[in-house]
Amino acid sequence: MTWDRVERLLGEDVLGFLRTQTVGIIGLGSGGSFAAVSLAMSGVGRFILVDDDALEATNIVRHAADRRYLGQTKVEAVADLIRQRNPSAEVKVVVGRIEAHADLFDEMDLVISGVDGEGPKYLINQACLDRGRTAVYAGVYERGEGGDVCVIVPGQGPCYACWAEHLREGLADPGAEPELDYGMIGPEGTLSAEPGLWLHVVRIASSQADMALNELVQGFDVHREMPGNTVVLANTWLEIYEGRTTLPYGAEWLTIPRNPDCLVCGSMYREQDSAQVSLDDLINLGQVSYEQDESESS
């Protein structure tokens, strides 16, 4: 009975599949806690929650967990919220920093980054590249005026380092002319130094959870092709592109390319490329012309 409505929407096969899927959520703050509960309510059956913080009074107005969980760790609080929605969900909680638990990525089918700082995102990026895991990252801008969500699939397009270098390049080099107007990003790459209201944060987190769910159901009819690997969401009038204002609740889709010279994933691709050349390929090299190769792939 409980899952009737969701099953009608997603189908029995998809719901059955989602019950077997393990989503790792790193960082269980405003966005991460919302994404976790939302995915549990959408049928995801297994979770690994990683965060070293306890719920404090200041968190209460910006978190899925309320006063009843004060003093508990955020992972325990969110695990309880997940079980309240789906008692059969399997939830593994890890009180600590992801740096000390990189082996956990082996057990995750998909990773959601709920961390604020850029540093941990690079660690998640490396771990996901090593294991071929898709990761969905979100960033909320200063005062919650907007945010962005990107889906990083190893072997397809950019890694998070490529992505960040492209989108946050104004940060790395203040003299460079950024493609996007990222004035709302604070120094040190911390996006939400001045945090937004919960209702503004969860709009970003809701899109993050939805894009994660969409990645999980790849291959099923309910999967939707997205217009890019990145969406920038406005919560108010926001100048996402210089000289062009995006309306409140508007969105801009972007396809951020891979950087062939990326220090993180560049060598991985080069190794892959050379590994693809087999002995047979080398023997046949003289017989296969470049033009033939191109016509085969088109």
Residues engaged in binding Zn ion (CB under 5 A): 159, 161-162, 262, 264-265
Nearer to Zn ion, 93 or 265 (CB): 265
Nearer to Zn ion, 158 or 196 (CB): 158
Nearer to Zn ion, 232 or 264 (CB): 264
Please give the angle made by the CA atoms of 155, 158 and 161, to the nearest 5 degrees: 120
Q: Which helix (H) or strand (E) holds 252?
A: strand 251-254
Q: Output the smallest distance, CB 160 to Zn ion, in A.
A: 7
Strand 110-113 relative to strand 90-95: parallel, antiparallel, unpaired?
unpaired
For residues 19 and 161, give the distance between their C-alpha atoms in angstroms, rounded to a whole number.
31
Candidates 31, 35, 11; CA nearest to 196 is: 31
Q: Identity (one letter) of the amino acid at 67?
A: R
Distance from first CA to last CA of the chain, Å, rounded?
A: 49
Give Rg (Cα) of the chain.
21
List the strands of the sheet with 251-254, edge to edge: 90-95, 46-51, 22-26, 110-113, 134-140, 146-152, 230-234, 251-254
Nearer to Zn ion, 2 or 255 (CB): 255
Q: Output the smallest distance, CB 256 to Zn ion, in A.
A: 10
For residues 208 and 138, give the distance between their C-alpha atoms in angstroms, rounded to a whole number.
6
Q: Output the smallest distance, CB 164 to Zn ion, in A.
A: 9
Q: Output the smallest distance, CB 159 to Zn ion, in A.
A: 3
Nearer to Zn ion, 78 or 254 (CB): 254
Q: Output the smallest distance, CB 162 to Zn ion, in A.
A: 3
Nearer to Zn ion, 48 or 264 (CB): 264
For residues 220 and 17, give the distance between their C-alpha atoms in angstroms, rounded to a whole number.
10
Q: Output the smallest distance, CB 245 to Zn ion, in A.
A: 31
Nearer to Zn ion, 26 or 128 (CB): 128
Q: Output the smallest distance, CB 188 to Zn ion, in A.
A: 21
- Please enumerate in sequence order all residues whose Cβ is within 8 A of that of 103, keeping only pairs 6 or more positions apart, or say none: none
